[in-house]
């Protein structure tokens, strides 16, 4: 029996090598096969099937409602599209906080059923035992510190995190714990750039920033945000690399007009 292995695919070892070489890592979220195929062809290093799907795909106000099965459904499409990039799936709220056993069971379920390469979960020391058990079970884990949207009800909003010294010290401590536990990478969300730089230098694993300045080992953005599809959302850290909302609305408007005035389909578009 021959097994086809694509050695051009990104691995956690290659990501570490990129950090060592000072080569920046580019990560984007994706939630479906069609867009993920384009993103992969463009050469992205890592996909995040983020629980931001709860907002972007499902229209919820928060990330909290999305379930393990819904994350698996979305991740399968991204995995089928990923010829090159490593695919990370977010573990949704409630899937790893109850017990270490449940956390490991859910992480394995996500890996087995979606085909993704790794999982991401939010938090530091509080969830360290769960992270250690997952890594012992062979699950590659990405950490996530700073603004952790699953804790929005505790934080009371989506403001900048770790401005004060005590929170900054805890974040640095947590990052070191996650690194020592064997996380292959850590996301830092919406924290001061100077703190993100300090964390990036203090840990051996690659650090991926979002709203955390340009001294991290790489960056992640929500695909729909950076493509300008989400018109109402423009935090300071977000750059629109395209303005697709306008293009989509123009195209749909032209389609509607063409249907209404019977110019679509024309004779060449008919059988
Ligand atoms: O769910 C998500 O999209 C994320 C990124 C913002 C890092 O966790």
Q: Do 254 and 235 share a structural domain?
A: no
Q: Within a domain: residue 121?
A: yes
pLDDT band at 232 (very low <50, low <70, confident <90, very high): confident
Q: Do 56 and 110 share a structural domain?
A: yes
Q: Do 163 and 249 share a structural domain?
A: no
CA-proximal residue: ligand 1, atom 4 (nearest): 50
Q: Within a domain: residue 5?
A: no
Average pLDDT value over all residues in the chain: 96
Q: Are 84 and 8 in contact (CB under 8 A)?
A: yes
Convert the pLDDT of each residue in 158-170 to its tens digit: 999 999 999 999 9
Ligand 1 centroid vs 222 CA: distance in angstroms?
Answer: 7
Least Cα distance to 232 among 28, 62, 56, 50 occurs for 56
Q: Within a domain: residue 7?
A: no
Q: Are strands 185-189 and 218-221 parallel, antiparallel or unpaired?
A: unpaired
Task: Find the mean pLDDT for residues 228-240.
Answer: 93
Q: Determine the longest span between alpha carbons in the chain, in angstroms.
A: 70
Q: What is the DSSP-derived secondary structure letter of residue 90?
A: E
The total number of structural domains that make up the chain: 2
Q: Do 260 and 191 share a structural domain?
A: no
Q: Do 271 and 137 share a structural domain?
A: no
Residues 207 and 142: their CA atoms lie apart, in Å, by 10
* Lowest mean per-residue pLDDT among 5-9, 72-76, 223-227: 5-9
Q: Do 259 and 216 share a structural domain?
A: no
Residue 153 has pLDDT above 80, yes or no: yes
Q: Do 97 and 46 share a structural domain?
A: yes
Q: Do 254 and 141 share a structural domain?
A: no
Q: What CATH number corresponds to the domain at position 211?
A: 3.20.20.60
Domain that holds residue 257: 244-271
Q: Helix, strand or coil for residue 220?
A: strand
pLDDT band at 1 (very low <50, low <70, confident <90, very high): low
| Residue % of the chain over a pLDDT of 90 | 96
Q: Are strands 185-189 and 86-90 parallel, antiparallel or unpaired?
A: unpaired
- Protein residues with CB under 6 Å of any ligand 1 atom: 29, 48, 50-52, 90, 187, 189, 210, 220, 222
Residue 243 has pLDDT above 60, yes or no: yes
41 catalytic residue (yes or no) = no
Residues 254 and 268: their CA atoms lie apart, in Å, by 18
Q: Within a domain: residue 206?
A: yes
pLDDT band at 39 (very low <50, low <70, confident <90, very high): very high
Residue 271 has pLDDT above 60, yes or no: yes
Q: Do 76 and 150 share a structural domain?
A: yes
Q: Do 139 and 260 share a structural domain?
A: no
Q: Within a domain: residue 4?
A: no
Alpha-helical regions (H) of the chain:
12-21, 33-41, 53-56, 68-81, 100-114, 128-136, 152-155, 165-181, 193-202, 223-226, 244-260
The active-site residue, picked from 189, 197, 247, 269, is 189
Q: Within a domain: residue 185?
A: yes
pTM of the model: 0.96
Q: Do 99 and 75 share a structural domain?
A: yes
Q: Within a domain: residue 2?
A: no
Closest approach atom of ligand 1 to CA 149: 8
Residues 3 and 240: their CA atoms lie apart, in Å, by 41
Supply 199's token pair. 């964390």
**What pLDDT does residue 7 have?**
67
CA-proximal residue: ligand 1, atom 5 (nearest): 50
**What pLDDT does residue 3 have?**
58
Least Cα distance to 49 among 16, 78, 23, 21 occurs for 78
Q: Within a domain: residue 101?
A: yes
Q: Helix, strand or coil for residue 95?
A: coil
Q: Do 223 and 264 share a structural domain?
A: no
């Amino acid at each position: 029996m021959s097994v086809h292995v694509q050695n051009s695919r990104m691995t956690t070892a290659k990501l570490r090598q990129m950090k060592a070489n000072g080569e920046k890592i580019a990560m984007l979220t994706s939630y479906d096969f069609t867009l993920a195929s384009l993103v992969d062809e463009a050469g992205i290093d890592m996909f995040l099937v983020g629980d931001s799907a709860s907002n972007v795909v499902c229209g919820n106000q928060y990330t909290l409602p999305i379930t393990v099965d819904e994350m698996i459904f979305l991740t399968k499409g991204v995995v089928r599209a990923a010829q090159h990039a490593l695919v990370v799936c977010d573990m949704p709220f409630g899937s790893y906080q109850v017990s270490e056993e449940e956390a490991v069971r859910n992480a394995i379920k996500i890996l087995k059923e979606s085909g993704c390469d790794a999982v991401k979960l939010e938090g530091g020391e509080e969830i360290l035992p769960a992270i250690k058990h997952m890594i012992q079970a062979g699950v590659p884990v990405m950490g996530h510190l700073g603004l952790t949207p699953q804790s929005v009800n505790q934080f009371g909003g989506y403001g900048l995190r770790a401005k004060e010294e005590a929170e900054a010290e805890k974040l640095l401590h947590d990052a070191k714990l996650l690194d020592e536990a064997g996380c292959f990478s850590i996301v830092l969300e919406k924290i001061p750039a100077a703190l993100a730089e300090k964390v990036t230098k203090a840990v051996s694993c690659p650090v991926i920033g979002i709203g955390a300045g340009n001294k991290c080992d790489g960056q992640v953005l929500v695909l729909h945000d950076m493509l300008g599809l989400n018109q109402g959302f423009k935090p300071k850290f977000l750059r629109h690399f395209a303005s697709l909302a306008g293009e989509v609305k123009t195209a749909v408007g032209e389609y509607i007009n063409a249907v209404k005035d019977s110019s679509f389909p024309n004779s060449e578009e008919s059988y």
